[in-house]
Amino acid sequence: MVRHRIFIVLTALKVAILIGILLYCRGHLRVLEGSEVPAKRALSRQLGLTDLSIWTEARYTRHPSQADFFAPFQDFPSSLEHFPAGSVVAPPRFAAPVRTEPSPE
Amino acid sequence: MKEPAEALIWTEDVTKVYNPRLPDEVRAVDRVSVTIDRGDVAVLKGPSGSGKTSLLSLIGCMSRPTSGRIFVDGRDVAKLSESLLTAIRRETFGFIFQQYNLVPDASVLENVLLPLYPVGLRPSEMKQRANRILEGLGIENRRRLKVRKLSGGEQQRVAIARALVNEPDIIVADEPTAHLDRQRSADLLRVLEDLNMQGKTIIIATHDAQVYDHVFVTRTIEMGDGRVEAERLS
Amino acid sequence: MRRLLILDYALSSLWRRRYKNFSIIAVFTLTVAVLGSILLLTHSLKMEASEILAGAPDLVVQRMSAGRHDLIPVRYIEEIEKIPGVGAVKSRCWGYYYDALTGSNFTLLGLDETATHEIHLLEGSMPKAEGQCAVGPGVARIRNVKVGDELILIDSTNTGVVFEVVGTFTEESSILTNDLVVFPKDDLVWFFGLPEGRATDITVEVFNESEVSTVAGKIKRMYPDTRPITRREIVQTYDAVFNWRSGMMLTVFLSALIAFSILAWDKATGISAEERREVGILKAIGWDTSDVLELKFWEGTVISLTSFLLGLIFAFVHVFFFGAPLLTPVLKGWSVIFPDFHFTPYIDLYQIAVIGFLTVVPYVASTVIPSWKTAVTDPEEVMRS
Ligand SMILES: Nc1ncnc2c1ncn2[C@@H]1O[C@H](COP(=O)(O)OP(=O)(O)OP(=O)(O)O)[C@@H](O)[C@H]1O
Ligand SMILES: [Mg+2]
């Protein structure tokens, strides 16, 4: 008849570990938000960086936000392509129609 | 015939039809009216297929009759809801099945405790009860063993212990000696006799002469083809 | 008390089939861990992108020519500057460099003299004089250079050019700077042989956030061959990039989910004869239908809750403490230079609740529902079995 106690204790332990991790992450995030995050934001501003340096295999994966919007072939962000990273990059959905047609004044 | 309220079990024209209105319709129990009193040792006797098990399960509230009335301890069980029926099964009856119907991979103690889980007793009390009964049956040293590892006779005793743990008024046994040799059968009958002495009503379905010819039998109900052919008091 | 007793029985009945149940917990935990890792990772990157790229230029103006990105005439700046609400307008010079030595691609960036030279996350200094450069951690690693070393790059005339490394960006900045090589602007123009009066693109500062798209529209009308990209679009791109519904991640996610569904389906349809018999016995000796269903509910809950919590713990540790080593290969693709991720622990509790809901509930349902039918039948059957 102690089985349910063991289960409850183990479950509580897991929940406690999770909460511990969450609190730690939160604290760590606070620290980062006070130091690293603003520093990186500043760096992006100072160097005028528009993209994250994650995929370095093609132009449109290195700078997905700057990818040529009209280029019909490999550079077209939604083309069938052969770079694996492209499979995590969806074509950008641009909200503003400014680039496709000039709106009348 | 007695009034329904006086007898412990009282049936009137109970009928059980399996697969009604189908080509393979079976009238397993056909207009059976029997009475069993408190303290009886009643034997249901008859050839294979005569409807003994079907009648037992009707009396034991395991199934509902197609027609007719059944009173257990003054209550018309045919009208009770599913959960009340379950409660009666739990509180009034202790079942010893032909195949024992134990959970083979659970321990002896766990098997005996099974009927107590839905009751909501304190765990210490549950264990106390189970141990007392296991001791009475002489298998308390097997408590921790898996049922699968026990001999047939020991398994039967576990089945008896489980039937007793809820302190029922009525013990129902379906062919309890079918798998036992003469010696073991005699042991079992002694246990049942003891229980009867303690005031429990016992209902046995059997076609074993060792059982129905035993002196403690107070009532014999002979069945054939789903009907009661003879009812004797002794 | 009753409830706890039934939980107790559920635990003992799970323990009786422990090999089967532990393997289910293992698979289930793995599923949650994979799913959780993907969601934690993409959410972290998405947040990181929107936080960091808040520093990106308000507007980037590219020139399109023959359907491709082309160099933009610097003289466009003068006209753009005249648009009301526009602040600093600057040309940017940058480009790509294929490093045949290592088979990797670098991003070369020319820095204006006017750019701030006090820069965070940099060891050493920014290049100030001709022939100097600062490199990102990925470049430093793959070319094995540090401050004070020389970096030789091949220019457009196929001549080796020696640069002195005066600064390296720190690991913490690698998500932005990993493949960067930064030069003074003149060096870059000369290195790439860019034509006079042309730049890669133009950045535009817009004072009022709400006017950005108006300004973009004006630029587009002024110079129909341009393509203005707003910062909002940049951030949106990364939202889409890391959107958990897209791409490879979904494939991984789906296959995990499918494997798990097969398991659950197997369980759902395959309530074994043994289990059915046990349910029959329980009913015969006085368990109510609701007691049996409660038992099954507990069985499902114990397994799924245990797996969910364990899986989630694994996911957190995997992503935030170890940098998701099992997932980064999927992310990496063919990149030769790839950052060492230190995921910033942005956590979306709602997302976690969704994982919980999508795993625990179906599992519990798939344990309870199939036993329903057995639980409601008359227990008479067990008398004949
Ligand atoms: N679920 C069912 N569906 C159809 N027929 C059934 C069902 N259960 C029992 N029967 C039939 O009812 C009749 C009576 O069966 P029952 O098991 O009550 O006999 P019995 O006297 O206990 O026999 P035995 O001595 O062999 O145990 C049999 O002919 C059997 O085939
Ligand atoms: Mg029978």
Query: Residue C119: what pLDDT?
Result: 79
> Do A69 and A40 belong together in one domain?
no
Same domain, A43 and A58: no
Decide if A70 is inside a domain. yes
Shortest CA distance to C117 belongs to which of C26, C68, C184, C25? C184
Q: How far apart are CA C268 and CA C366, in angstroms?
A: 5
Task: Find chains touching chain B: ≥3 CB pairs under 8 Å.
Answer: A, C
Are the C-beta atoms of C289 and C368 separated by less than 8 Å? no
C30 pLDDT more than 90: no
Closest chain C residue to the Cα of A102, Cα to Cα: C221
In a domain, A20, yes or no: yes
Q: Is A15 a member of any domain?
A: yes
Q: Residue A97: pLDDT band by 50, 70, 90 thresholds?
A: very low
**pTM for the full predicted model:** 0.84
Q: Domain containing A21: what range?
A: 2-47
Contact between residue B9 and residue B59 where contact means Cβ atoms under 8 Å apart: yes
Angle, vertex CA B214, rays to CA B209 and CA B218, nearest 5: 115
Min distance B123 CA to chain A CA atoms (Å): 7
The DSSP secondary-structure symbol of C17 reads T
| C18-52 helix and A36-47 helix, angle to the nearest 10 degrees | 50
Strand duo C68-70 + C226-230: pairing: unpaired
Please give the span between the terminal C-alpha atoms of chain B, in angstroms, as a whole number.
17
Contacts of C213 in chain A (CB under 8 A): 96, 98
10-residue mean pLDDT series, chain B (234 residues): 74 91 90 91 91 92 91 87 89 88 91 90 90 89 91 88 92 87 88 91 90 86 91 86
Interface test with A, best of C241, C251, C328, C346 (most A CBs within 10 A): C241
What is the distance of C-alpha A49 from the center of its chain? 15
pLDDT tier, C64 (very low <50, low <70, confident <90, very high otherwise): confident
Q: How many whole angstroms separate alpha carbon C147 and alpha carbon C149?
A: 6
Is A105 inside a domain boundary? no
Residue C373 has what pLDDT? 81
For the residues of B102-149, what is the DSSP string, one character each? Answer: --TTSBHHHHHHGGGTTTT--HHHHHHHHHHHHHHTT-GGGTTSBGGG
> Which residue minimizes the CA distance to atom 29 of ligand 1?
B49
A23 plus A37 within the same structural domain:
yes
- Mean pLDDT value across residues C299-313: 94
> Which single residue is written with the structure tokens 């395959």?
C270
**Biggest alpha carbon–alpha carbon distance for chain A:** 80
**Number of folded domains in chain A?**
2
C156-184 per-position pLDDT tens digit: 888 889 999 999 999 889 889 999 999 99
Q: Does residue A94 lie in a domain region?
A: no
DSSP tag of C287? -
Contact C179 A53 (CB under 8 A): yes
**Cβ partners under 8 Å of residue A65, min gap 6:** A50, A51, A92, C229, C233, C234, C237, C238
Number of Cβ pairs < 8 A linking chain A and chain C: 269
Complex ipTM: 0.90
Distance B175 CA to ligand 2 centre (A): 7
Atom of ligand 1 nearest to the CA of B51: 18
Could you please report the per-residue DSSP string of A40-96? HHHHHHHHT--S-S---SSHHHHSGGG--SS--STTSTTS--S-GGGGG-PPP----
Whole-number Å distance, alpha carbon B49 to ligand 1 midpoint, is 5
* Amino acid type, B32: V
Residue-wise pLDDT tens digits, A33-59: 888 899 999 988 888 888 888 888 777
The pLDDT value given to residue C265: 66
| Residue whose tokens read 């049942």 | B192
Contact (CB<8Å) B62/C380: yes
Domain shared by A43 and A57, yes or no: no
**pLDDT tens digits, residue range C116-162?**
657 788 888 888 888 899 999 999 999 999 899 999 999 888 888 99
Judge whether A50 and C230 are in contact, CB under 8 Å: no
| Residue B95 to residue B78: CA distance in whole angstroms | 19
Question: Ligand 1: residues whose CB is within 6 Å?
Answer: B 18-19, 26, 28, 46, 48-54; C 384
Q: Are residues A43 and A60 in the same domain?
A: no
Cα–Cα distance for residue pair B219/C76, rounded to 1 Å: 114
Residue A38 lies in a domain: yes
| pLDDT tens per residue across span C90-110 | 999 999 998 888 888 899 999
How many CA atoms are closer than 13 Å to the CA of A78, on its beta-carbon side? 9
Residue of chain C whose Cα is closest to the Cα of B83: C288
Residue A76, in any domain of the structure: yes
Cβ proximity of C227 and C191 under 8 Å? no
Looking at chain B, the number of H-run helices and the number of E-run strands are: 7, 11
Identify each DSSP E strand in chain C by its residue range. Answer: 59-65, 68-70, 72-73, 86-99, 104-111, 122-124, 132-135, 150-154, 160-169, 180-184, 198-199, 201-206, 226-230
* Whole-angstrom distance, CA of residue C43 vs CA of residue C23: 30
Residue with tokens 């099945």: B97
CB C52 within 8 A of CB A42: no
In chain B, which residue's Cα lies nearest the Cα of A3?
A: B123
Largest CA distance in chain B: 53
Average pLDDT over residues C272-286: 86
DSSP one-letter code for C201? E
DSSP label at residue C184: E
Residues A67, A35 share a domain: no
Nearest CA to ligand 1 atom 25: B48
Q: Which two tokens stand for residue A33?
A: 């938000």
Q: pLDDT tens-digit profile of A8-19? A: 999 999 999 999
Gap from CA of B87 to ligand 2 centroid (Å): 24
Cβ–Cβ under 8 Å, residues B71 and B65: no
CA triplet B8, B10, B16: central angle to 5 degrees? Answer: 130
CA distance A54 to A51: 9
In-domain check, residue A60: yes
Reported as half-sphere exposure (CB side, CA atoms, 13 A), residue C101 has a value of 12
Q: CB distance C178–A17 less than 8 Å?
A: no
Question: With contacts defined as CB-CB under 8 Å, which chain C residues touch B103?
Answer: 16, 278, 281
> Which of A10, A13, A53, A76 is best to mutate for the C interface (most C CBs within 10 A)?
A53
Cβ contact B55:B64 at 8 Å: no
In a shared domain, residues A16 and A39: yes
